[in-house]
Amino acid sequence: MIVVYRSSDLRSLLDACRAEGLRIGFVPTMGFLHEGHLSLVTRSLEETDRTVVSIFVNPTQFAEGEDLAQYPRDLRRDSELLEKAGIHYLFAPDVEEMYPDGPGRTTVNPGRIAEAGEGRFRPGHFAGVATVCTKLFAIVGQCRGYFGQKDAQQVAVVRQVTKDLDLPVEVVACETRREANGLALSSRNGFLDEEMRKAAGAIFNGLEAAAKLASEGETKPEALIAKVERAIGTEAGLKVQYVEVVDPETFEKVERVDAGALITTAVFAGSTRLIDNLEVPASS
Ligand code: AMP
């Protein structure tokens, strides 16, 4: 594994790979890696010839008052995990390398989708994601980009941006990895104590119960939403911020539940904000 700190160095290395006909797989992350991240890495290793993972805690995707300073970091442990996994390049730029003239000058605005769903509670978040992904894609060049469905709206934003800006990236969405009780793996789960981790299993239970309701023929979003709210609301320490049923491309709320819609939620477990989602299955 080669660790690269400079954008220009990574570009040269990957240009040389492509010149030899090798396919590049790219996994962008903010580090503090867990099995969810590693499942994207495994997929990239299986489907491409050279895998590059980036670790960059992107300041522009944290809204005012969010946990940028507290965001967990452990580059040494991450690079050991990635080396063991067998990746080829680790790109670990600092903020100065990514934003030499300071963050926020030229930005990518994904439009309406950025205001829906998570965007209502995280102003500027998706513009930050769109901007950093556009920059990373410009550095990495033609590749397959691996993203987790756990951050479903991020996947939709990145797909939209690559399409609208003709970026040479094929976006691949990968299934959410979960703990045994259903809690979606997240770098922020480290903030939860044992009791809270157990309680947070109710988030996925609620989503599953709502998906089951839909598979039995329920078409009213309110019925699904109530199901999730009830499952989560009964757990001490959990507080629902929102539950919605949305179109998977636009993240606009749907008026009627159909297969493929997403049930999305954000929940506070104490002071830790967790998000999750589940696709509505075809009715049985
Ligand atoms: P992050 O480091 O949180 O920015 O995440 C980097 C990538 O890993 C994103 O594409 C996430 O959607 C993905 N990811 C995070 N958690 C999971 C998970 N539990 N299962 C699968 N992918 C995940």
Helices H / strands E in the chain, number of each: 9, 9
Average pLDDT over residues 111-121: 98
Ligand 1 lined by 40 (C-beta under 6 Å) = yes
Residues 153 and 275 sit within 8 Å (Cβ to Cβ): no
User: What is the DSSP-derived secondary structure letter of residue 141?
Assistant: -
Please compute Rg for the chain using Cα positions: 19
Strands ordered across the beta sheet of 143-148: 2-4, 89-91, 50-55, 24-29, 143-148, 169-174
H/E element holding 76?
helix 75-85
Strands 24-29 and 50-55: parallel
Which residues are designated catalytic? 37
Q: What pTM does this model have? A: 0.97
> Does residue 125's CB lie within 6 angstroms of at least one atom of ligand 1?
no
Query: What pLDDT, in 10s, does the model give residues 153-202?
Result: 999 999 999 999 999 999 999 999 999 999 999 999 999 999 999 999 99
- Paired tokens of 86: 């067998």
Cβ of 156 closer than 6 Å to ligand 1, yes or no, is: no
Binding site membership of 171 for ligand 1 (Cβ less than 6 Å):
no
Please check the confidence at residue 267 and state whether its pLDDT lies above 90. yes
**Host H or E run for residue 24:** strand 24-29
CA-based nearest residue to 206, from 185, 179, 234, 187: 234
Q: Report the C-alpha gap between 280 and 266 in whole angstroms.
A: 17
Ligand 1 atom at shortest distance from the alpha carbon of 178: 19
Residue 67 — pLDDT band, cuts 50, 70, 90?
A: confident
| HEC string for 244-268 | EEECCCCCCECCCCCCCCEEEEEEE
Ligand 1 mean position, distance from CA 172 (Å): 12
For residue 151, the CA-to-ligand 1 centroid distance in Å is 7
